[in-house]
């Protein structure tokens, strides 16, 4: 099978900008995929953020751009959950904005940037001064922009009461000349148009379905043994961070109701930056349920390596082939990277019908075990059936992979990015 690689006009120097490009958060992962796709199209990609693990020769690290920088965090803490800000806070915001504009101009000049791709910083106000700085730089330079929006202010309850509505109206997101707005689901597209009158295009999260997934190799062959599981155990993988919106209590309830000693829940990621109260609640649930759950965040990394104690670190690509089932019981997702990963690696998925799944994914025909906020008897029995029936698992895997290739492959993003660039530069595809 061959795929057409699209290019448009002269190769461009493209600058990705965010608070961080590091780790396995959704924004970082999707930005890397876009950069990979754009690179294959002949463009050059460069990076600016507060935290970076991109190649130094293509990077500009601006510590003040990180949302957890002490100066930034101190200001942000006074902007939400209150209805008024002081003049002093306004002055601090403007001062941070001006310093960040200097960093943005430095980045643009350093790498002779021709196209800007702000990653989520003009959508969700995790860093208000950076959004304001980005908006002013776009207005002043009129550089072509593809603003990549993953989640918006109105999608997060914690931003409802705020003292910065004037800034949110101006910059989250702005409507400026020479901007292409990209969202990751159709619900965001409709809400952006309804609330702000801003047109946008949907480019969903994607995976490289054109390249078949790796299987179990020499490095990862011992993964089950390393986490003390046997080949006969059912490895039920929860491949997400431990945060409340992931609904991990439903995965615990599912394993409890399977009531099978082979069922072992494996949680791959840490608690993240939302505190440990949810993790503590989950551990209480696990103790009450009397089930076997493995928290293995210390054994999972972006790259292979060793822990401080000399134990092997595995990537998610090492772990997925060992899984018998993926649980994805999220209450809310902007799209659903873990869903696509489960499809890519041919694993049956138990998925909560969160809004974006129900609207953008489910109608496409994927074969999954669906739950609607409840682990019902039917969900438990369907899960038991798929775990016991390898032929059915293989049938689902083939159907789902073909749908992933059709709707969520790199070729989909490639076509849509080529169109966005063509619009910006007035060129044909």
What would the pLDDT profile of 377-409 be if each residue is shown by its tens digit? Answer: 999 999 999 999 999 999 999 999 999 999 999
The CATH number corresponding to 223-407 among 3.40.50.2000, 3.40.1190.20, 3.40.718.10, 3.30.565.60 equals 3.40.50.2000
pTM score, two decimals? 0.90
User: What confidence score (pLDDT) does residue 8 get?
Assistant: 52
User: What confidence score (pLDDT) does residue 139 get?
Assistant: 97
Q: Where does CATH 3.40.50.2000 sit in the chain?
A: 13-206+410-425, 223-407
User: What confidence score (pLDDT) does residue 302 get?
Assistant: 87
User: What confidence score (pLDDT) does residue 261 get?
Assistant: 96
Residue pLDDT, tens place only, 165-215: 999 999 999 999 889 999 999 999 999 999 999 999 999 999 999 999 999
Q: Which residues of the chain have pLDDT under 70?
A: 1-9, 272-275, 428-429
Secondary-structure class of domain 13-206+410-425 per CATH = alpha beta
User: What confidence score (pLDDT) does residue 2 get?
Assistant: 42
- Give the per-residue SS3 of the chain: CCCCCCCCCCCCEEEEECCEECCCCHHHHHHHHHHHHHHHCCCEEEEEECEECCCHHHEEECHHHCCCCHHHHHHHCCCECCCCCCHHHHHHHHHHHHHHHHHHHHHHHHHCCCEEEEECCCCCCCCHHHHHHHHHHHHHHCCCEEEEECCCHHHCHHHCCECCHHHHHHHCCCCCCCEEEEECCHHHHHHHHHHHCCCCEECCCCECCCCCCCCCCCCCCCHHHHCCCCCCCEEEEECCCCCHHHCHHHHHHHHHHHCCCCEEEEECCCCCCCCCHHHHHHHHHHHHHCCEEEECHHHECCCCEECCCCCEEECHHHHHHHCCEEEECCCCCCCCHHHHHHHHCCCCEEEECCHHHHHHHHHHCCCCEEECCCCCHHHHHHHHHHHHCHHHHHHHHHHHHHHHHHHCEHHHHHHHHHHHHHHHHCCCC
User: What confidence score (pLDDT) does residue 273 get?
Assistant: 60
Residue pLDDT, tens place only, 221-247: 999 999 999 999 999 999 999 999 999
């Amino acid at each position: 099978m061959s795929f057409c690689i699209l290019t448009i006009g002269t190769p461009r120097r493209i600058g990705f900008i965010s608070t961080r490009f590091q780790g396995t958060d959704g924004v970082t992962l999707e930005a890397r995929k876009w950069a990979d796709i754009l690179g294959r199209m002949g463009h050059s990609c460069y990076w600016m953020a507060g935290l970076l693990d991109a190649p130094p020769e293509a990077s500009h690290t601006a510590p003040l751009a990180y949302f957890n920088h002490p100066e930034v965090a101190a200001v942000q803490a006074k902007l939400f959950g209150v209805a008024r800000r002081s003049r002093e806070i306004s002055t601090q915001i403007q001062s941070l904005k001006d310093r960040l504009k200097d960093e943005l101009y430095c980045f643009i000049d350093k790498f002779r940037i021709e196209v800007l791709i702000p990653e989520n910083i003009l959508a969700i106000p995790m860093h208000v001064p950076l959004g304001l700085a980005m908006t002013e730089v776009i207005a002043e330079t009129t550089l072509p922009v593809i603003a990549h929006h993953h989640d918006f202010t109105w999608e997060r309850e914690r931003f409802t009461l705020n003292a910065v509505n004037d800034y949110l109206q101006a910059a989250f997101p702005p409507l400026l000349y020479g901007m292409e707005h990209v969202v990751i689901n159709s619900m965001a597209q409709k809400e952006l148009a309804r609330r702000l009158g801003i047109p946008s295009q949907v480019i969903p999260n994607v995976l490289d379905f054109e390249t078949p997934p790796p299987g179990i190799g020499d490095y990862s062959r011992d993964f089950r043994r390393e986490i003390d599981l046997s080949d006969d155990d059912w490895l039920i993988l929860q491949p997400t961070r431990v945060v409340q919106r992931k609904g991990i209590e439903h995965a615990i309830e599912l394993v409890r109701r399977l009531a099978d000693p082979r069922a072992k829940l494996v949680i791959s990621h840490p608690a993240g930056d939302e505190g440990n109260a949810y993790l503590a609640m989950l551990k209480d649930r696990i103790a009450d349920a009397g089930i076997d759950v493995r928290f293995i965040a210390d054994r999972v990394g972006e790259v292979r390596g060793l822990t401080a104690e000399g134990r092997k670190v595995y990537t998610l690509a090492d772990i997925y082939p060992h899984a018998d089932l993926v649980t994805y019981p999220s209450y809310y997702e902007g799209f659903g990277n873990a869903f696509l990963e489960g499809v890519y690696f041919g694993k049956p998925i138990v998925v909560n019908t969160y809004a974006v799944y129900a609207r953008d994914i489910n109608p496409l025909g994927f074969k999954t075990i669906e739950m609607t906020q409840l682990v019902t008897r039917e969900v438990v029995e369907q899960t038991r059936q798929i775990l016991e029936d390898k032929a059915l698992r293989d049938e689902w895997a083939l159907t789902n992979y073909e749908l992933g290739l059709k709707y969520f492959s790199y070729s989909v993003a490639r076509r849509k990015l080529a169109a966005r660039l063509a619009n910006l530069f007035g060129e044909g595809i």
